[in-house]
Structure 1
Amino acid sequence: MNEQQSQANKKLALKLVWIIVGALLFAFALVPLYDVICSVTGLNGKTSNIAQTAGKQKVDTSREVTVQFVSAVMPGLGWNFYPMQTSVKVHPGQVTVVMFEAKNTTSEVVAGQAIPSVTPGKASAHLKKIECFCFVRQSLNPGQVKQLPLRFFISADLPPDVNELTLSYSFFPATDDAN
């Protein structure tokens, strides 16, 4: 009977180890899986970081959409960052350029990476960025001021009930050792 109890305990311990290993693997896979789901569906306002081209996009002059711009700098970056225009009115399909300005307020070289977000979430799949400072890491020398362009268009298949959207950029510190 003691041998049976010992075998049962070993089986239980092995099952518990497999459950822990499975939970750890699931936890590590959750973040990339969430990013993929958000990029594909536009969930949580996450936009794609892939350059888009207007191609043969037709401009819908019968409709106007207001695009507002919001910016934030996360603690530890030491930058001032803001849009040169707080909003623009665009026709779907019309390529528009908006400038942002970043200034390093520290006495050392500082690098940052911008993360975009679009509200409402259902509009994020329709905001197509052709050129964006968010595609690459930005580095500023001490006191340097840099103009950062954003070239984009809103696809003509934007739902008709969306007349206004907000594009928000948050700049986070980027380190040299991050790969």
Structure 2
Amino acid sequence: MSFRSENTRMVRKLVVVAAGMFAFGYALVPMYQAICEFTGINILALAEREVPGVGSVGKNVRLPDNTQVDLTRTITVEFDANSRGPWEFKPAQRSVQVHPGELTTVMYEFQNVQNRRMSAQAIPSYAPRQAAAHFNKVECFCFNQYTLEPGEKKEWPVAFVVDPKLSKDVTTITLSYTFFEVGGKTPPAPAGGTAQAPLQPEKVGS
């Protein structure tokens, strides 16, 4: 057998091997897609779309539903502010509509309009009374005491979730805050509300 014949056979074998590798690589895409769809993890997107808070995902990807949110109900949450002293205190918005189980954040605004430093804290209350046990605050400025300089402004968030176990008879909840100066007399809760006890006073530097 001549040297040229051996080279020809070797080239043919290499061509067959290369064609086989190309075919195998080409077949991987539908195979992988079939496996992903079968297992429910379909990350091969035929087209992509942007989902807020998630990023770019394929159109065939099913995002998990939050089964804790009751989309069949809508509750109006109203916000109120009571000041026990010469300062400005108010919610950034008067009401929102939420679904039970849905995380919602609102802001409260405060300004010390006095010409002296002050330390203050807020007490929350709820109406109707039975809503208090089902109004879960994830973040709230009422958990802390604050010291503000003369003229200083602050914005504080309230992040909350209304428990889906809340009676279906309740369609409106009023969240009211009473803001008072630390060291003074603790004010009573607004009429018709159920107040939470304030935290123990902390030492605040002068």
Query: What's the TM-score once normalised by structure 1's chain length?
Result: 0.65
Which residue of 75, 79, 82 maps to 1:72? 82
Match of 1:137 in 2: 145
Match of 1:156 in 2: 164
User: Counterparts of 1:178 and 1:102 in 2: how far apart (Å)?
Assistant: 20
Match of 2:92 in 1: 84
- Per-residue Cα deviation, 1:69-117 (whole angstroms, up to 9, x for no partner): 0001113xx3100000000000000000000000000011111110000
Match of 2:57 in 1: none
Match of 1:104 in 2: 112
Contact 1:57/1:155, CA 8 A, preserved across alignment: no
User: Aligned with 1:134: secondary structure?
Assistant: helix
Contact 1:107/1:143, CA 8 A, preserved across alignment: yes
Deviation at 1:178, TM superposition (A): 4.3
Q: In the alignment, residue 74 of structure 1 is paired with which amino acid?
A: R
Q: In the alignment, residue 64 of structure 1 is paired with which amino acid?
A: T
Which residue of 173, 179, 192 maps to 1:165? 173
Match of 2:71 in 1: 61
Which structure 2 residue ranges, 5 or more long, are not aligned?
A: 1-65, 185-199
Match of 1:50 in 2: none
Which residue of 98, 112, 124 maps to 1:116? 124
User: Counterparts of 1:111 and 1:127 in 2: how far apart (Å)?
Assistant: 27
Greater mean alpha carbon deviation, residues 117-126 or residues 168-177: 168-177
Deviation at 1:140, TM superposition (A): 1.0
User: Counterparts of 2:159 and 2:79 in 1: how far apart (Å)?
Assistant: 13
User: Aligned with 1:88: secondary structure?
Assistant: strand
User: Aligned with 1:123: secondary structure?
Assistant: helix
User: Counterparts of 2:113 and 2:170 in 1: how far apart (Å)?
Assistant: 38
User: Counterparts of 1:57 and 1:100 in 2: how far apart (Å)?
Assistant: 30
Deviation at 1:121, TM superposition (A): 0.2
Match of 2:7 in 1: none
Deviation at 1:175, TM superposition (A): 2.9
User: How many equivalent residue pairs?
Assistant: 122
Q: In the alignment, residue 130 of structure 2 is paired with which amino acid?
A: K
Is the helix fraction higher in 1 or 2?
1
Deviation at 1:172, TM superposition (A): 1.0
- In our comparison, the structure showing a higher alpha carbon Rg is 2
Higher relative contact order (CA 8 A, sep 6+): 1
Q: In the alignment, residue 94 of structure 1 is paired with which amino acid?
A: E
